Amino acid sequence: MRVVRALVRSVPAAYRHATRRHDQPIDSDRATAQHVAYQAALRSAGFAVEALAGDESLPDGIFVEDTAVIVGERVMMTRSALPGRALERPPIAAALSARGLEVLHMTAGVCDGGDVLLVGGRLFAGISERTDAAGIAALAPLGLPITAIDVPAGVLHLKCVCSPLGDDAILLAEGTLDPAIFRGLQVHAVPFAEQWAANVVALGSRVVMGAGYPVAADRVSRAGYDPILVEVSEIEAGDGSMTCLSLRW
């Protein structure tokens, strides 16, 4: 069976200073425990997980997904709209290169991996406060067709409201995007009130998702998947969710 790898980065104490769009305090110790539980959930879903050490100079460094877009054995290192987060990229590029991936670097535009969704051999890329048209165009060397999508106002990243459920299905928060965008894919919905739960990490039938979204968990289960629930209050307090905590290939 093919090994699917996941790279994560541990929580530094400085995570309590993570970028966020509200005043909610963050408990870094609790975030550390939740991050460890997240890694365990990925392992139980079947991922081979490796953790890089946290870096006290990078408060948002746990959100490794934003640094890169991986397609097969090739990775495009993205360019951040936030100068502080740009510094997260070089160590991730080195880690991915050391693991045998071919590393390319974006030279124009801005893009966060949280805006790029890979499913069914296609990329869907969100235009957001973090990703622009030039950043999306710079994904071309990854060799897949790309559909650009306007991310709804107030939503940080495309994958805040949708994420892949394997190779032929999407989990989507109702009332956020037109499901017709994903023509040809099965679209499973979570209620708007539980939209954080639309961001999941799936492998086969296993779906790692945030705890506290009972309707969403029930719908995922009824759709034939096996939810693995993780408490992620402190990750959400940093405006993050499931996919943003790992790079997977």
Interaction site with ligand CIR (CB under 6 A): 18-20, 60, 63, 65-66, 85, 114, 157, 238-241, 244
Q: Judged by CB, which is closer to ligand CIR: 62, or 138? A: 62
Q: Minimum CB separation from ligand CIR for residue 241, in Å?
A: 6
Beta bridge partners of 148: 125
Residue nearest ligand CIR, Cβ-based = 114
Alpha-carbon distance 239 to 243, whole Å?
12
Q: Minimum CB separation from ligand CIR for residue 63, in Å?
A: 4
Q: Minimum CB separation from ligand CIR for residue 190, in Å?
A: 16
Q: Minimum CB separation from ligand CIR for residue 61, in Å?
A: 10
| 202-236 b/e (C-beta count within 10 Å ≥ 16 → b) | bbeebbbbbbebeebbebbeeeebebbbbebebbb
DSSP assignment string, 180-201: GGGTTSEEEEE-GGGGGGG--E
Q: Judged by CB, which is closer to ligand CIR: 63, or 225? A: 63
Q: Minimal CA–CA distance to 149: which of 117, 126, 172?
A: 126
Q: Judged by CB, which is closer to ligand CIR: 85, or 89? A: 85
Q: Judged by CB, which is closer to ligand CIR: 16, or 205? A: 16
